[in-house]
Amino acid sequence: MSPRKPPGSVLVVDGANVVGARPDGWWKDRAGAARRLHEELLVADVDQDVVVLVLEGQAKAGVRAGRDAHVRTVHAARDGDAAIVEETRRAVEAGSRVVVVTADRALDARVHGVGATTMSPTWLLSRL
Q: Taking a C-beta distance cutoff of 8 angstroms, is the pair 12, 52 a contact?
A: yes
What's the rounded Cα separation, in Å, for the pair 99 and 118? 5
pTM: 0.93
Pairing of strands 66-68, 71-75: antiparallel
What's the rounded Cα separation, in Å, for the pair 81 and 15? 10
The set of residues, in sequence order, having a beta carbon less than 8 Å from that of 109 and lying 6+ positions away, is none
**Looking at residue 1, what is its pLDDT?**
40
Fold entry, domain 9-125: Rossmann fold (3.40.50)
CB-CB neighbours of 127 under 10 Å: 14
Each residue's pLDDT expressed in tens, for the chain with a length of 128 residues: 434 545 689 999 999 999 999 988 898 999 999 999 999 999 998 999 999 999 999 999 999 999 999 999 999 998 999 999 999 999 999 999 999 999 999 999 999 999 999 999 999 999 99
**Looking at residue 7, what is its pLDDT?**
61
